[in-house]
Structure 1
């Protein structure tokens, strides 16, 4: 039991013993093996839901924990069942009581929250969010992301997610892809239809994403906001006053002038603007650097926000226009990652790694 206490449920972030998933252990002598006493071991495991998507991982980790027992040859057999409705209800009630509502707004929370905003659509805000989240995860941070762009959700596609969150008696488990825990309205049935929601319902959707999803205690939470300064940006500021705003723009004035407005929302709400990211800054073509969308937009936004807000708002990164960002994103893999899920050794990945480290500094 002590060794099984080190086996962590990947979704709930607690040991299988604390969660009551070990229903029993039977040990029977089986002679000797190489001079060591041998035993047949049966572990009865109760998973939270039938067909738990991580059951193979949990069973494998339990088997490895048993095999690590010293001075004995243990032949494990794992019997897998599902918790009764009453036991699951008690578990969920305990988790909810412990967490209460909106775990990210309570005092002393360790999670760094970054809201990714833009003045207009089409500047690559969602691809920046996806690649930044994947970078944080690849650097070893426990990372979560909320697709708060209810009308134009795109994170499920950028991460290759086609499954739905697991529902534990009304508590949702986020879908994990490329090391990032994700939730999006695009993961639910009917999300392919046009969504016509107004302010109050938008705010409730964000509150549900925060309070009805079991996030654990991530190091980083990213929110992909809708473009502009509408209801969701205000809801984020009211619900997550400790969030830091990152403004994404492209170099041309038509985008950068509008991007300033997204940052100036901090004059009306308690949210600090952390910095500016300029996307599609240039395109390298056979050794020639082409500034297709002009230049200087990111620095203009940073300078204007610094003057208006009264604190330093730096230009934190300039990202090139790369076909592979689109190609890999459409294939469901953030462009900063290799096929093995690790950071690729590319200039783009290095730029995002530098941005992530600067944000956490």
Structure 2
């Protein structure tokens, strides 16, 4: 039966795709009118030009049609400044405590922080980050990535992000791709311009990614750290003392020797080292022969020096053809490596 009450109840299952809250809870449903089997209503969007407007309309129409409506007319409006200010204050309250600290940093928040780090650039640290995050999401985990490599940001390009975070006043809604929420300095620069900042500004932006971003519910937040032991690594260690770390290296002994410095810093700052990921470990030919192009032993040597294990050995391989993304297909050889890595982390 079509009644205002039934329609509102049905729309409780329709969620804003970015805030992941019911459109009813967000007070977005207005002026429901019923004429025989024709329903008209107004949906008030958080901002003008909402990028997921079409998705909201489709979900609203489907929910009401399921009640027996033959026609659904949806008109869109936009929240007033006052309504948006109230929403922003609500989101801020959910994000931070009374002292202005991110609630996700509380010991009982349930969020697990994993920093992906390396001793030097070019070892595939960001590739490991996005593929581990995607593999965790495929397991049903709620996952986010902070691209903390402020100077060398690459996550948006590697994940083929086609839009920027939606801003509700000063609160950012992360871009979500394949079930993974991402925030990066790359969303805030124009035309690949370089970022030329010193320590205090770096700290401010890392904190901003945590405080002024509405992450919603998370099981894991991965931090793609810049290589080495500089300002960002030091700030993250101080800001997130409970973070665990994965150290990325190639099999080359020179790379693992440099990577050991990042691992020793993790131990010095009391971060637990989950283990080592050896990237570009080998190239496998169609006949199954493994070619160790960069040598062997680097990952094992690094693991021994840090008293941990090699979590995964990732071979050379192209990601899925023609997508432009650096995410490997779940059924590919490399995809299976990341699935096993995610399972080891999630179920250990």
Question: Do the aligned partners of 2:119 and 2:258 also contact (CA within 8 Å) in 1?
Answer: yes
Q: Which segment is superposed worse, 99-108 or 41-50?
A: 99-108
Task: After TM superposition, give the deviation of residue 270 of structure 1 in Å.
Answer: 3.3
TM-score if structure 1 supplies the norm length? 0.88
Question: Do the aligned partners of 2:159 and 2:327 also contact (CA within 8 Å) in 1?
Answer: no
Question: Do the aligned partners of 2:13 and 2:22 also contact (CA within 8 Å) in 1?
Answer: yes
Task: After TM superposition, give the deviation of residue 286 of structure 1 in Å.
Answer: 4.6
CA distance in 2, matches of 1:333, 1:266: 30
Q: Which residue of 2 aligns with 1:83?
A: 79
1:183-222 alignment to 2 at 5 Å?
183-190=183-190, 192-222=192-222
TM-score if structure 2 supplies the norm length? 0.92
* RMSD of aligned alpha carbons: 1.7
Q: Which residue of 1 aligns with 2:133?
A: 133
Q: Residue 77 of structure 1: SS of its match in structure 2?
A: strand
Q: Which residue of 2 aligns with 1:57?
A: 55
Task: Select 2:16's aligned residue among 6, 9, 19.
Answer: 9
1:229-240 alignment to 2 at 5 Å?
229-240=229-240
CA distance in 1, matches of 2:192, 2:327: 25
Question: Do the aligned partners of 2:237 and 2:271 also contact (CA within 8 Å) in 1?
Answer: yes
Task: After TM superposition, give the deviation of residue 272 of structure 1 in Å.
Answer: 1.2
Task: After TM superposition, give the deviation of residue 178 of structure 1 in Å.
Answer: 2.6
CA distance in 1, matches of 2:88, 2:80: 12
Q: Residue 228 of structure 1: SS of its match in structure 2?
A: coil
Task: After TM superposition, give the deviation of residue 317 of structure 1 in Å.
Answer: 0.2
Question: Do the aligned partners of 2:95 and 2:104 also contact (CA within 8 Å) in 1?
Answer: no
Aligned residues: 335
In structure 1, list runs of 5 or more residues that go unmatched.
31-38, 307-312, 338-342
Question: Do the aligned partners of 1:264 and 1:305 also contact (CA within 8 Å) in 2?
Answer: yes
In structure 2, list runs of 5 or more residues that go unmatched.
1-7
1:340-351 alignment to 2 at 5 Å?
343=330, 345-351=331-337
CA distance in 2, matches of 1:334, 1:247: 20
Q: Which residue of 2 aligns with 1:44?
A: 42
Q: Which residue of 1 aligns with 2:155?
A: 155
Answering whether residue 311 of structure 2 is matched by residue 316 of structure 1, we say yes
CA distance in 1, matches of 2:220, 2:326: 17
Question: Do the aligned partners of 2:39 and 2:69 also contact (CA within 8 Å) in 1?
Answer: no
Task: After TM superposition, give the deviation of residue 285 of structure 1 in Å.
Answer: 3.1
Q: Which residue of 2 aligns with 1:33?
A: none
